[in-house]
Chain A
């Protein structure tokens, strides 16, 4: 079992790293960013991604990663190193991800990770923002006659991933409905899909974006449907280690820049031509006004590079989520000006 052994080695190795590596680390409260220095020295951003979730982080046959989570990594690389391609991707299971981050194996975790209080406060992590508002849902077979979560009955079996908030939400949900259920939790999404497809379980539950993406992997996608109810809030976003405030800001504002750019209509093709725009907000975004980069120890074109090389949030969403047929409708992931809840603080 390659996966399990790899997990063990990774977790074990990461713990060992934590045990063995020098006492340097990102010292709390220091003005300089150790992570930024190390990244510049290494020449690439160390980014943790999923093991393959279409639309978020997925590698093609030749090993090129793409997705909206991957774009966060690319944005950070563009801002810090000037080249969005200078990213080293580490595919991580749900179980490995936080250990990999806290031990310093990766510096940014962009892996459809739900922002929760205990994760933020308890285990040495800091969430920098939300790049996808999601919620947990259920998938069932179309012919099952189940049209809503209210049709679930005692004895239903539900497949999901282990080590995720999904497992906890599922319990809360079934308990609140007073339904006894059989939880079957696999380590890898592929195995959940296989087991559900085979009929081992009656329903498959995870984030709705995940359901939409995984449905494409089923032997007959048209036989399945996602129930309308959403049983939880799943704000997914990038995570960094606690204790390096400058690095935290860089990642946060790399993401914010992409969203702000969409709001002001700045995209990868028109960004450089907007240097002389009338609008000061746009001028700040493309680096022709203000000295915003200096605050992180970056040059003034950091945000222009993000927009030019990665694109704004809307472009990223369209390319990876909408055009791939995963979730054509942006729903809550629309700008606040257009009826969604994407709202970022001003870059000034």
Chain B
């Protein structure tokens, strides 16, 4: 009977009551706020809705990875901002990880100079607020760059100037075939390596897997160039005069200084934290492990690669995930130096032009939440993969 089920003496039912009350209370708070917002907005003549996303944005954006101009919609502008946020975060995470690992290992180096330089780097960049570092790179460091007519030239195919870094543009024919060949190469490398491991473990045979992999990576795409009609040409940036003293570069691709400054600041800053994680991870591996490895005749590099790192990674990954999340969220400081990320483009210009604060702020918050959760899920998967496999 239903009464028996909800009997107060039934422990299960009793435990459910406080939880049900909590959920009810939470729901009513949310409903209260939502209704209030609706009434207040109604009183003030503000409508609520997401229809504006289809309206023409009518503002331009400096830098976009997809086709965009002001005749596209606000929804498209959102996408441009989102992709720019993802781009700078990905670049930041990539360089922060490499620098973090290098600096972290350097801090433990026996070489006094290397260890000290790494230590100073960590202490300086970790302790200066990120926004100041962004301003430093953008307004101080990049300001020292020359105007286009005196741009720093790299073999006359690439130019670094205050207006950006102009690099050659890749013009592909049959890019899809090339892409497929690269994927094929990686699949081949995977099988070569697992075959090599098997041979080593079962028969003690050493196969030079690294060299074979490398050859495959070069050879397979090369075939597409020779036989499958893939070709690549470059469009080089050329100095162009706009007026007696105003110059710019035409052609090629311009990497805007805002992106360079932001990516530099984010990776330099986050690398310090990752370096500390790496150091902690390495120091966290028992001394006995290294001594045991040394006693069976492994050299220093082998000890690091085969014994220390696999164990250290388990300590390093979880806190490093946090740093990746921080970096992604910190990229919202882009607005300060006009890098068109989602905050500047969408929560900035679009909010201003449409006046739809509640809608736009909620979309932006939800976007960051989704980005962060995606990174978390990926890193948790990687962490699980690296965890000790009990045999």
The judgment on whether A and B are partners is yes
Instruction: State the A residues within 8 Å of B (CB).
Output: 1-4, 7-8, 11-12, 14-15, 18-23, 25-28, 94-95, 98-99, 102, 119, 122-124, 141, 143-146, 151-157, 162-164, 167-168, 170-172, 175, 181-187, 191, 194-195, 198-202, 241-243
Q: Within 8 Å CB of A143, what residues of B? A: 244-245
Q: Within 8 Å CB of B8, what residues of A? A: none
* Interface residue count on the B side (C-beta < 8 Å): 57
B10 on the A face (CB < 8 A) = no
Q: Are A157 and B44 in contact (CB under 8 A)?
A: no
Q: Within 8 Å CB of B135, what residues of A? A: 1
Expressed in whole angstroms, the Cα–Cα distance for A167 and B216 within the complex equals: 51
Q: A20-B36, A21-B40, A145-B245 are in contact. Are A168 and B353 (CB under 8 A)?
A: yes
Q: Within 8 Å CB of A102, what residues of B? A: 44, 46, 355, 357
Q: 22 pairs across A/B with beta carbons < 8 Å?
A: A1-B336, A8-B347, A18-B40, A18-B41, A20-B36, A28-B43, A95-B348, A99-B355, A102-B44, A123-B355, A141-B245, A144-B243, A144-B244, A155-B242, A155-B248, A156-B246, A162-B335, A162-B349, A164-B352, A167-B60, A183-B62, A191-B338
Q: How far is the CB of A202 from chain B (nearest CB, A)?
A: 5
Q: How far is the CB of B29 from chain A (nearest CB, A)?
A: 11
Contact with A along B325-362 (1 / 0, CB 8 A): 00000001101111010011001110111111110010
Question: CB < 8 Å: which of B34, B43, B131, B246 contacts A26?
Answer: B43
Q: Are B344 and A15 in contact (CB under 8 A)?
A: no
Q: How far is the CB of B50 from chain A (nearest CB, A)?
A: 15
Q: Within 8 Å CB of B130, what residues of A? A: 1
Q: Within 8 Å CB of A15, what residues of B? A: 357-358, 361
Q: A153-B242, A155-B240, A184-B62 are in contact. Are A163 and B361 (CB under 8 A)?
A: no
Q: How far is the CB of B43 from chain A (nearest CB, A)?
A: 4
Q: A20-B36, A94-B352, A243-B45 are in contact. Are A171 and B243 (CB under 8 A)?
A: no
Q: How far is the CB of B105 from chain A (nearest CB, A)?
A: 32
B147 on the A face (CB < 8 A) = yes
Q: Are B248 and A4 in contact (CB under 8 A)?
A: no
B59 on the A face (CB < 8 A) = yes
Contact with A along B230-256 (1 / 0, CB 8 A): 000000000010111110101000000
Residues 118-149 of B at the A interface (beta carbon under 8 Å): 130-131, 134-135, 139, 143, 147
